Amino acid sequence: MGAVRSVPRSLGELTPAWLTDAIAARCPGAVVGKLVVGEIEDGTNRRARVEVGYDEGDGPPAVFVKIHGRPAHRGALVALGALTTEARLARSGVSLPLAHPLPFAAAIDRSRLRTIVVMDDVTEVDGRPNDAVTPLSVDEVRDGLAGLAALHASYWDRPLPESLGFLRPWRLKRRWAPVSAANLTRGIAKLRRTDLAGLADQLSVRMLEREFRSSASLAASGPMTVLHGDPHPGNTYSLPRRRTGFLDWQLARTGNWSHDVGYFVVSSLTPADRRSHDRELMAGYVEALRDAGVASAPSEADAWERYRATPAYGLGTWLHTFAAGSFQRVDTCLESIRRFAVAYDDLDTKRSLVAD
pLDDT for 192-236, tens place per residue? 999 999 999 999 999 999 998 888 888 889 999 999 999 999 999
Q: Which residues of 314-336 are buried (b: 16+ CB within 10 A; e: fewer)?
A: bbbbbbbbbbbeebbeeebbbbb
128-355: CATH class: alpha beta
Is 128-355 the same fold as 11-125?
A: no
- 3-state DSSP assignment of residue 74: helix
Residue 178: predicted pLDDT: 87
Answer whether 0.75 is exceeded by the pTM: yes
Amino acid at 82: A
Q: Where are the domains of the chain?
A: 11-125, 128-355
Q: Which residues of 117-128 are buried (b: 16+ CB within 10 A; e: fewer)?
A: bbbbbbeeeebe
Contact 311, 262 (CB under 8 A): yes
The secondary structure of 13-48 as a DSSP string is: G--HHHHHHHHTTTSTT-EEEEEEE-PPEESSSEEE
Q: How far apart (Å, rounded) are the C-alpha atoms in residues 276 and 152?
A: 25
Mean pLDDT by 10 residues, the chain (356 residues): 85 96 96 97 93 97 96 88 95 96 96 96 95 97 98 97 94 79 95 95 92 87 96 97 96 96 98 98 98 97 96 95 90 97 94 64
Residue 65: predicted pLDDT: 98
pLDDT for 289-308, tens place per residue? 999 999 999 999 999 999 99
Residue 2: predicted pLDDT: 75
Contact 322, 228 (CB under 8 A): no
Considering the domain delimited by 11-125, tell me its CATH architecture. Answer: 2-Layer Sandwich (3.30)
Residue 213: predicted pLDDT: 86
Give the CA count within 13 Å in the CB-facing half-sphere of 5: 0
Residue 355: predicted pLDDT: 53
Residue 351: predicted pLDDT: 76
Residue 326: predicted pLDDT: 78
